[in-house]
Amino acid sequence: MRNPLAGVICFLMMAIVAVLAVSLVAGGQADNDSAVPPEVAAYSSDWPLANRDYANTRATEDSAINSDNVLDLGLAWSFPIPGIGAYGGGASNPLIQGERVFFQDLQANVFCLDLASGRVLWEKIYNSTSVVGPNGPAAGWGKVFLARDLYNLTALDLENGEELWSARLSPVSSTGIDIQPAIYDGMVYASTVPGTGDVFYAPGGIGVIYALDQETGVERWNFSTVDSPDLWGHPEVNSGGGCWFTPAVDLATGIMFWAIANPAPFPGTGEWPSGSSRPGPNLYTNTMMALNHESGEMAWYRQVLPHDLLDHDLQIAPILATLDPGQGGQRQDLVYGAGKMGRVYAFNRSTGELLWVTSVGLHTQESQLDRLPEGTTRIYPGVLGGVETPMAYSNGTLFVPVVDLHTDWTPTELDASTLDFSQGRGELVALDAATGKILWIRYFDSMALGGATVVNDLVFTATYDGSIYAFEARSGERVFKYQAPAGINGWPAVAGDTIVWPAGVGAAPSLIALRLGAEDASPQARILELAEGQVVQAGNLTVSVQVENFNLTDELGAENVAGEGHIHYYMDVQGPRAPGEKAVSGPGTYVASSE
């Protein structure tokens, strides 16, 4: 809720939850593997891949940013995003390799920027208005790989942006590329999806995974993500499959893990209501798929949601981790998946055995509907709800960004008129990676579309309204908030003392760099002593504070001077969950927001 408290410093109440002790490490990363592109190996301490490493952990311990100095983050530079598509200007992950940042906007334009200043080193302009996203670059072997439009995977010279080769993946106009490619062992990997192209989920569209030779662009293999060439008997109606997010690669085994998307039409058509045109489970949609990276041969698959009626993809980038539950236990190699159905899944990485499932966010029912009832049915999560953007993993915990947004359905169509982004809310959920147990949850008034990113002892996320947050990873205590110049539906790269984040929604889309020591660092309010009346009640709560990173300037424009008096802040305050619960658990640092 929004709670203005005048004349005092306000704070965000945080619940402290003990994290169960379990030793876990990211799975499969090996810098000396000869199959790894030299740039990825050389800049492994930066953010050289879409989700930083081949395990897709989105976690770094090589950054200088931590809970002790996060409030010293401020805006170092901002790069205006020129290419604006249907979903804004930036719905992908930048890369950081040394002193260079690589970024692709939602008109497929590609930029190489100087990390220190944001200055453009080179650019390649495509102005492709058909791009949906997510998209983004991969950089290795002296090349930058990307989709230049819906149909063509392209290689640019890493030093100057000159186009080296381009290969058309999609044989038909009803499928297209909406993925940030993977690069490994001399190949570039991407997928087509039918959820793009000239018509959204046009009949006959089948998503296909492709592996191309990185040097020439020649196809090495492909894999159809639909097991039925005739699309379950009705190619004139049905479509489905494909992958939206970058796969994970187990460097020890060479197995790639792909999250395959939904079948269509959803929920049906006038002639074929509730998916009746596609009877059966509709393999391999909503499936975790393990493929040999060299040949494309299937190692195993596990479908989590057969005969999906509601566009509830299993689409998020898979995460790899290795668990050691302690003395007497057995090491376990796992792969995690999640998607718009609002569930997180843990699989045995070798066999595909499903180990646990945890629901996150709002749900109107836990079981899948066989058919939709007559009339209109409101369902959470909706087509743009659930887990929409990438998760992160670190030290035994999964961090899951969640969107709570409904969709209204009839047996033949969804009601787009009631799909209102302003009604969406968000969550960040921390899960025990061994058991799926929820450790803590933070709630937002806007949709959590900025992914999750772990930086040392912090986890970052962002919301559609442009708010960037950092929380203590173990406790969920909020320690940082920054208001970006535009809304956010992209996720960041982190290297050294800098976070580079796309803020592409709204009137001022930009790629921003937050850096330790920048001039507009966040005001810091450190509670020195708790006042009486710390139980949450109607009215104000007064505390003693020490304020840093905040100067008072008089209205005549004189030099900054030290000032005394009240500083008014408006904070997002989450109310207590039990009678008598304290608003503040003890002294500590809280983030002031001067909105």
**Would the pLDDT of 17 be above 50?**
no
Q: Which of 440, 444, 439 is nearest to 427 (CA)?
A: 444
Cα–Cα distance for residue pair 147/113, rounded to 1 Å: 19
- DSSP-assigned letter for residue 464: T
Strands 467-472 and 458-462: antiparallel
pTM of the model: 0.85
CA 459 to chain centre: 12
Cα–Cα distance for residue pair 217/388, rounded to 1 Å: 31
Q: Which of 380, 377, 378 is nearest to 363 (CA)?
A: 380
Tokens of 236: 């004139």
Predicted local distance difference test score (pLDDT) of residue 324 = 81
Give residue for tokens 């609002």: 342
Per-residue CA distances from 25 to 22, 95, 161, 331 (Å)? 10, 23, 37, 11
Residues 6+ apart with CB under 8 A from 38: 140, 141
Q: How confident is the model at residue 195 (pLDDT cuts 50, 70, 90)?
A: confident
Predicted local distance difference test score (pLDDT) of residue 522 = 60
In one-letter notation, the amino acid at residue 353 is: E
The tens digit of pLDDT for each residue in 501-527 reads: 999 999 899 999 999 999 776 655 544
Cα–Cα distance for residue pair 248/49, rounded to 1 Å: 11
Predicted local distance difference test score (pLDDT) of residue 172 = 85
CB distance 444 to 34 below 8 Å? no
Give residue for tokens 């640092």: 589
Residues 6+ apart with CB under 8 A from 579: none
The tens digit of pLDDT for each residue in 225-266 reads: 999 999 999 999 999 999 999 999 999 999 999 999 999 999
Residues 6+ apart with CB under 8 A from 300: 290, 351, 352
Between these two residues, 574 and 46, which has the higher pLDDT value? 46
Predicted local distance difference test score (pLDDT) of residue 406 = 97
**Would the pLDDT of 532 be above 90?**
no
CB-count exposure of residue 377 (10 Å: 0-12, 13-18, 19+)? middle
CB distance 142 to 125 below 8 Å? no
CB distance 132 to 115 below 8 Å? no
Predicted local distance difference test score (pLDDT) of residue 170 = 86
CB-count exposure of residue 423 (10 Å: 0-12, 13-18, 19+)? exposed
DSSP codes, 92-114: S--EEETTEEEEE-TT--EEEEE
The tens digit of pLDDT for each residue in 357-376 reads: 999 999 998 778 889 999 99
The tens digit of pLDDT for each residue in 54-101 reads: 999 999 999 999 999 999 999 999 999 999 998 899 999 999 999 999
Average pLDDT over residues 377-389: 97
Predicted local distance difference test score (pLDDT) of residue 140 = 99
Residues 6+ apart with CB under 8 A from 259: 243, 244, 245, 247, 287, 288, 289, 313, 314, 315, 316, 317, 318, 337, 339
CB-count exposure of residue 561 (10 Å: 0-12, 13-18, 19+)? exposed
Cα–Cα distance for residue pair 98/495, rounded to 1 Å: 9
**Would the pLDDT of 329 be above 80?**
no
Predicted local distance difference test score (pLDDT) of residue 326 = 60
Provide the residue ranges of all domains of the chain, joining segments of one domain with +.
169-320
DSSP three-state, residue 70: helix
Tokens of 458: 């912090």
Looking at the chain, the whole-number percentage of residues with pLDDT higher than 90 is 74
- DSSP-assigned letter for residue 193: E
**Would the pLDDT of 415 be above 60?**
yes
CATH number, domain 169-320:
2.40.10.480
Predicted local distance difference test score (pLDDT) of residue 302 = 99
Predicted local distance difference test score (pLDDT) of residue 196 = 77
Cα–Cα distance for residue pair 591/553, rounded to 1 Å: 21
Give me the count of residues in the chain.
595
3-state secondary structure 6-69: CCCCCCCCCCCCCCCCCEEEECCCCCCCCCCCHHHHHCCCCECCCCCCCCCCCEECCCCCCCCC
Q: How confident is the model at residue 544 (pLDDT cuts 50, 70, 90)?
A: low
Q: How confident is the model at residue 538 (pLDDT cuts 50, 70, 90)?
A: very low
Predicted local distance difference test score (pLDDT) of residue 490 = 97
